[in-house]
């Protein structure tokens, strides 16, 4: 299983350097992110408009990540990753001293943008450093470290956010940044796109990948949100327009030396990445609120309770190479999505007093599902584009994960509020209250619910704030259980769509086949076209 990995000590050092880089990028203190109280309150309030703003912001970040991946192909993957690491470290150092100043918003935006460049460069360097047989394991190791970084950053934020020593949360990311820069400089080699890759080809694929994200992820913002009646009409128009545009461009480029991505497999691989990360974002974000706000545990304990998911993800990494030799990428991606759906859906029984041990098995199932499907999906994305555009393909892969995580957070937060509100209305109807009273009470409920679940009750005494939060805990748990079921259904439908839509012969780098025709005497692992 690990023969080729252990035999090549130089590639192993490259993997360790890349793991250090992605861990440093994942340790960013989430002061101005989805975990901030006012942002969390906004996305839990369907009428605030914050959800659409967050969706648009992450769509823009996905496009910037694609630009970063293409820039790595032009200027060099190692050089661009060092630039990202250095910029992240500098913005963290400045942010530590300017946390309460008006400049911090700008610093945090620069930090978010530059940190998004690190993951695609990591995937690009790992792709070029490892042989095809063990590349899925390397991808899985990177994803596992990223998950550990997210959990650690969230716990650090929860520890220091209520205190006057918030600047301490920056120190781990700064120290890890120094370590990552040293390892990357010492153990990685420079690489870039071949000289025969034209800038026209690079820009064309960049624009095409951005269009796919605009279709798959940005449609929520275009459609006007969950309550828009014309959302499905907008989706249909976008899909039909996308297919017509692709066929028109493909006909015009027939015989041209410039190559485009395989739009069918790439689109489905992007969809898989978005939905896998959406499931992960739903689990991480909502269970953290459940543990801290409803069950009253601290941020460190809350982060530690997600350990089964990360452990299962790491265990899946050990099996993914062996599984990839037996099953194609299409089956592994579908199977992983179905496992995530099974794990998330089996948490429908959750109650405010549910003991933690009853949630361990569902989290293990979800972690294993993500672990066996993320590496093959990455292989599909990295082998679909024209040869040489490794950074660009890695940017597509990273942007899918970023967008999906944010989409899962936004979508699940809105659903929790809607289901909790529906439960409140059912109870209110039993009192035979007049319609105008019900409407006013519902609006008050939504406001206090979003404030309580985001911890934005700073104007109340601590004891009273805890009582208000606990009083909304039952409503939150009811909405959470229903949300888990809905997201699980979406994941299962996505898995079926990918199984039916993705090319049956597409196995990425998992397939070993003869080279040079049927009579060739030797075999070599080759990526499918």
pLDDT digits (tens, 9 = 90+) for 387-422: 667 777 787 778 788 778 877 888 888 888 888 877
pLDDT digits (tens, 9 = 90+) for 99-128: 777 777 778 778 878 887 888 888 888 888
The enclosing H or E element of 513 equals strand 512-514
Separation of alpha carbons 46 and 25, rounded Å = 31
Number of domains in the chain: 1
Inform me whether the pLDDT recorded for 6 exceeds 70: no
pLDDT band at 461 (very low <50, low <70, confident <90, very high): low
- Helix runs in 188-230, H state only: 199-216, 219-223
Residue predicted with more confidence, 87 or 203: 87
pLDDT band at 525 (very low <50, low <70, confident <90, very high): very low
In the predicted model, what is the mean pLDDT of the chain? 74
Residue 422's alpha-carbon distances to 419, 462, 476, in angstroms, are: 5, 29, 11
Among 2-16, 95-109, 326-340, 425-439, the minimum mean pLDDT is found in 425-439
What is the domain-level CATH number for residue 42? 1.20.1250.20
Domain that includes residue 272, residue range: 3-190+200-509
Mean pLDDT of 233-262: 54
Residue 506 in contact with residue 329, Cβ under 8 Å?
Answer: yes
524 located within any domain: no
pLDDT digits (tens, 9 = 90+) for 127-177: 888 776 677 778 888 888 887 887 787 777 767 766 677 778 788 889 999
Among 36-50, 198-212, 290-304, 500-514, the minimum mean pLDDT is found in 500-514
288 located within any domain: yes
Residue predicted with more confidence, 524 or 497: 497
Residue predicted with more confidence, 108 or 236: 108
120 located within any domain: yes
Token reading at 145: 């470290």
366 located within any domain: yes
Task: Give strand ranges (E) for 37-82.
Answer: none
pLDDT digits (tens, 9 = 90+) for 338-377: 999 999 999 999 998 899 999 999 999 999 999 888 888 8
pLDDT band at 516 (very low <50, low <70, confident <90, very high): very low
pLDDT given at position 370: 92
As a whole-number percent, the residues of the chain with pLDDT over 90 amount to 14
pLDDT band at 482 (very low <50, low <70, confident <90, very high): very high
Mean pLDDT of 280-308: 86
Return the DSSP state at 170.
G
Which candidate, 329, 317, 352, 348, places its Cα nearest to that of 483?
348
The enclosing H or E element of 173 equals helix 171-187
- Residue by residue, DSSP assigns 37-88 as HHHHHHHT-TTSSHHHHHHHHHHHHHHHHHHHHHHHHHH-HHHHHHHHHHHH
523 located within any domain: no
Residue predicted with more confidence, 222 or 284: 284
521 located within any domain: no
pLDDT given at position 364: 95
528 located within any domain: no
pLDDT band at 518 (very low <50, low <70, confident <90, very high): very low
What sign does the dihedral 194-199-205-207 (CA atoms) show? Answer: positive
pLDDT given at position 344: 94
Among 109-113, 286-290, 516-520, the minimum mean pLDDT is found in 516-520
Inform me whether the pLDDT recorded for 78 exceeds 50: yes
């Amino acid at each position: 299983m690990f023969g080729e990995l252990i035999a090549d000590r130089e590639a192993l050092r490259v993997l360790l350097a890349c793991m250090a880089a992605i861990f440093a990028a994942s340790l960013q203190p989430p002061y101005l992110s989805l975990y901030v109280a006012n942002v969390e309150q906004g996305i839990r309030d369907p009428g605030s408009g914050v959800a659409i703003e967050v969706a648009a912001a992450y769509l823009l970040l996905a496009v910037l990540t694609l630009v970063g991946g293409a820039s790595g192909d032009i200027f060099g993957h190692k050089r661009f990753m060092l630039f990202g690491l250095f910029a992240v470290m500098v913005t963290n150092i400045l942010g530590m001293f300017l946390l309460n100043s008006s400049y911090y918003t700008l610093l945090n935006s620069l930090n978010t943008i530059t940190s998004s460049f690190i993951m695609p460069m990591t995937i690009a360097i790992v792709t070029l450093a490892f042989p095809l047989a063990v590349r899925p394991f390397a991808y899985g190791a990177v994803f596992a470290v990223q998950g550990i970084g997210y959990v650690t950053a969230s716990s650090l934020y929860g520890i220091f956010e209520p205190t006057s020593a918030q600047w301490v949360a920056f120190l781990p990311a700064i120290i890890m940044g120094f370590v990552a820069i040293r390892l990357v400089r010492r153990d990685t080699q420079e690489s870039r796109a071949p000289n025969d890759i034209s800038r026209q080809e690079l820009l064309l694929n960049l624009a095409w990948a951005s269009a796919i994200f605009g279709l798959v992820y940005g449609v929520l913002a275009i459609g006007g949100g969950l309550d828009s009646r014309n959302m499905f009409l907008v989706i249909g128009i976008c899909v039909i327009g996308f297919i017509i545009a692709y066929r028109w461009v493909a006909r015009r480029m027939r015989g041209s030396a410039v190559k485009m991505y395989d739009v069918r497999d790439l689109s489905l691989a992007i969809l898989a990445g978005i939905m896998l990360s959406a499931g992960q974002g739903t689990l991480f974000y909502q269970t953290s609120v459940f543990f801290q706000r409803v069950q009253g545990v601290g941020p460190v304990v809350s982060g530690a309770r997600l350990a089964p998911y990360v452990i299962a993800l790491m265990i899946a990494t050990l099996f993914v190479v062996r599984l990839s030799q037996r099953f194609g990428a299409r089956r592994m991606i579908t199977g992983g999505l179905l496992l995530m759906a099974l794990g998330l859906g089996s948490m429908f029984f959750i109650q405010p007093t549910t003991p933690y041990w009853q949630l361990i098995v569902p989290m293990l199932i979800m972690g294993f599902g993500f672990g066996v499907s993320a590496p093959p999906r990455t292989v599909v994305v990295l082998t679909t584009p024209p040869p040489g555009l490794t950074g660009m393909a890695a940017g597509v892969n990273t942007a899918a994960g970023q967008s999906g995580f944010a989409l899962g957070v936004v979508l699940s937060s809105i659903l929790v509020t809607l289901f909790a509100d529906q439960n409140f209305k059912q109870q209110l109807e039993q009192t035979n209250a007049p319609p105008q009273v019900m409407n006013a009470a519902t609006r008050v409920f939504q406001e206090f619910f979003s404030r309580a679940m985001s911890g934005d009750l700073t104007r109340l005494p601590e004891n009273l704030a805890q009582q208000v939060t606990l009083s909304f805990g039952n409503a939150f748990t009811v909405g959470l259980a229903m949300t888990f079921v809905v997201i699980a259904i979406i994941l299962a439908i996505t898995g079926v769509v990918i199984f039916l839509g993705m090319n049956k012969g597409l196995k990425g780098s998992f397939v070993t086949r003869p080279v040079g025709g049927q009579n060739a005497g030797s075999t070599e692992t080759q990526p499918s076209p």
